[in-house]
């Protein structure tokens, strides 16, 4: 009995000796921080929006081309070939598979997409690096007030995730819409009747997730560096 109470007291003391940061509080602070720096956040996310929409655009365009190719319409196939696709049937696999007209992204297209994503990553890392540097003093101050390193990392990751989520969904929607429009003008109204909705949604989802991951990847290095500094170092860094 006595052992038990002393154990409890000890445990209570241990928890009393820990600083905390409730998750909802972090979300609140991160959200307000984005709101207050709205213009700044938009600039940070703009390269992300562009890259995600480009990624989504190419994927959705090829989704649509795919579904058109499977119609085996000579006129459409001429147009597809003109657009740079190669809709010749795969001779090795002449089964009853519906997807035998599968069109792959050309190597050139893949290369452009990867390049644009790379440029985007550099842009995001740079923007986030600046955003973190600008807030070194704030980070140092928070550590003086008792923040643990991971409170700060979590705060910036939440911000990046919110920005990234918003930017990536905007990018996915823009990219898909643009792909629909260009395909409509290129191949005519058939596009609408054969719209591969499921594939398009899947491509949008993939582009969205890629965007979120890129946004997190951009912030994680600078913020871990900043959070690990001694408070005075962080406070001295700025200006």
Q: Residue 13, interface with other proteins (CB under 8 A)?
A: no
Nearest alpha carbon to residue 158 among 147, 150, 148, 169: 150
Q: Residue 117, interface with other proteins (CB under 8 A)?
A: no
Please identify which residue in 40, 100, 137, 206 interacts with other proteins, judged by CB under 8 A.
137
Please identify which residue in 1, 22, 74, 96 interacts with other proteins, judged by CB under 8 A.
22
Q: Residue 12, interface with other proteins (CB under 8 A)?
A: no
Per-residue x/- track, 36-65, other proteins (CB under 8 A): xx----------------------------
CB 183 within 8 A of CB 67: no
Other CB atoms within 10 Å distance of the CB of residue 74: 8
Other CB atoms within 10 Å distance of the CB of residue 18: 7
- Cα 53 to Cα 47: distance, rounded to the nearest angstrom: 10
Please identify which residue in 147, 160, 162, 172 interacts with other proteins, judged by CB under 8 A.
147
Half-sphere exposure of 150 (CA within 13 A, CB side): 5
- Cα 138 to Cα 140: distance, rounded to the nearest angstrom: 5
Q: Rounded to the nearest whole angstrom, what is the least distance from the CB of residue 119 to other proteins in the complex?
A: 31
Q: Rounded to the nearest whole angstrom, what is the least distance from the CB of residue 226 to other proteins in the complex?
A: 15
Binding site for other proteins (CB under 8 A): 17-22, 25, 32-33, 36-37, 137-138, 140-149, 151, 230-233, 235
């Amino acid at each position: 009995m006595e052992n038990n109470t002393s154990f409890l007291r000890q445990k209570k003391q241990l928890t009393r000796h820990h600083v905390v940061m409730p998750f909802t509080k972090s979300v609140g602070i991160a959200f307000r921080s984005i709101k207050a720096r709205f213009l700044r956040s938009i600039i940070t996310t703009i390269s992300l929006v562009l890259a995600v929409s480009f990624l989504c655009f190419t994927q959705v365009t090829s989704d649509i081309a795919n579904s058109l190719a499977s119609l085996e319409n000579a006129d459409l196939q001429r147009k597809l070939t003109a657009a740079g696709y190669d809709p010749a049937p795969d001779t090795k696999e002449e089964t009853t598979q519906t997807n035998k007209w599968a069109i792959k992204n050309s190597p050139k297209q893949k290369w452009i997409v990867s390049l644009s994503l790379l440029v985007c990553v550099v842009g995001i890392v740079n923007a986030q690096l600046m955003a973190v540097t600008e807030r070194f003093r704030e980070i140092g101050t928070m550590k003086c007030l008792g923040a643990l390193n991971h409170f700060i990392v979590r705060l910036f990751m939440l911000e990046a995730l919110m920005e990234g989520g918003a930017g990536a969904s905007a990018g996915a929607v823009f990219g898909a819409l643009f792909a629909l429009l260009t395909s409509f003008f290129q191949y005519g109204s058939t596009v609408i009747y054969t719209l591969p909705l499921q594939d398009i949604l899947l491509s949008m989802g993939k582009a969205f997730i890629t965007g979120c991951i890129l946004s997190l990847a951009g912030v994680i290095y600078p913020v871990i560096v900043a959070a690990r500094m001694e408070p005075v170092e962080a406070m001295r860094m700025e200006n």
